[in-house]
Structure 1
């Protein structure tokens, strides 16, 4: 079984839990997800099965869209409401100021990753340092916030402020960290109180299957279908043999990226044009 399936992850499950469930349903250990969702988060989790696992890095690199709940006036060790509360304060900022800050955050910047994350420092995951109370310098990663807007009213409750945002971000963006940074720009503290990934690349929430539906072994998307965003070419004979051997090809198709399939429409590999060599060279070999 080779292909890709988009799951609507429920709250309380880790991304690894979903991978294990998919593996059991399709009777394979060759399963991988394309972007971690925290246990408290819901929404689109794209899972690759069989030879489609070779697409994990490609699909992980796509832009992602989220709807998130913001709580201002609270700080936790995990940057969300699942963590231990470190401090609280009353917040005083109006809707106009909030919208100004959200607009200013649409940019590329260096984002400090959460200490409760799987990012590795000196071969050790950050959450392992955090759980053993070891201090470590948190790395920063370049992220891009393509779009960011408030999609709810602003609610004032007992000195705290709540509202909901929608954002479109680059690979590697932590929404928990984004909310922390929004709060800092507002001169206060803040955490994420809810999160739903609504889109990842071409995969949308409305097209995802639930865990209940997954148990019925729904048809998964073929590798060729997932790669239909690229030009595709069916080959046979000598050209197919060259691709199977990972050989370079002339750029007679005049494409920057092309997916080659055999006559049964199984994906052989993805080739890209090399400017220096002026040839099509193997990018990802699938050999389905």
Structure 2
């Protein structure tokens, strides 16, 4: 179309009124994503390759940067990856999980289930697919149970999922009497054991549960944890323990704790 033809048509149709029509194709966004996904699968116009494990995923930088602040910063900043044709995650990201995130980026759809929810939460947080992180956390909230609440507490704490953390935390406290002998509890870091034992909301019949939890946790790796015992026992209300727990105190891995700094001594 020539410029003059367009100008002539404008003058013929001009009536001085504001007679306009807005055309909006509601399916355009979905159609665009579908076409971009087809281009990705055919490796057309792809300008970066993501690698995880032994798999390679050709992608479009613009699509990745639009979905993830992680990729936006990587491709627009002065990082080495902004110029590289490949980004290699090595073994820090499972290829099946990366594939799910990429399918979401190009389709706005993802299936979250019991097998992939935790991995998607971790990867979504790592690559700043925050909507995937939050959707995975919501799925895990609905599937929270005493059998997994200790693990969910650690996972949500590491990835800033506040609601999942609070729900997990309260479930841990409410079910502590049945949890403290489990492998999940014995593998907790010291700071979490300390927080649980010290909490005023800990539900237990008496203080002996907290005391036994500390002793069992130390016994699980006595070589590394014996030095943590005095600090942990300061969180136990020793005055509320039955007398049988204090005289004599239990022997821990053949070592008699004769003079601990927490202020209770075995009889001579």
Q: Which has the larger radius of gyration?
A: 2
TM-score for both structures, normalised by structure 1: 0.25
TM-score for both structures, normalised by structure 2: 0.26
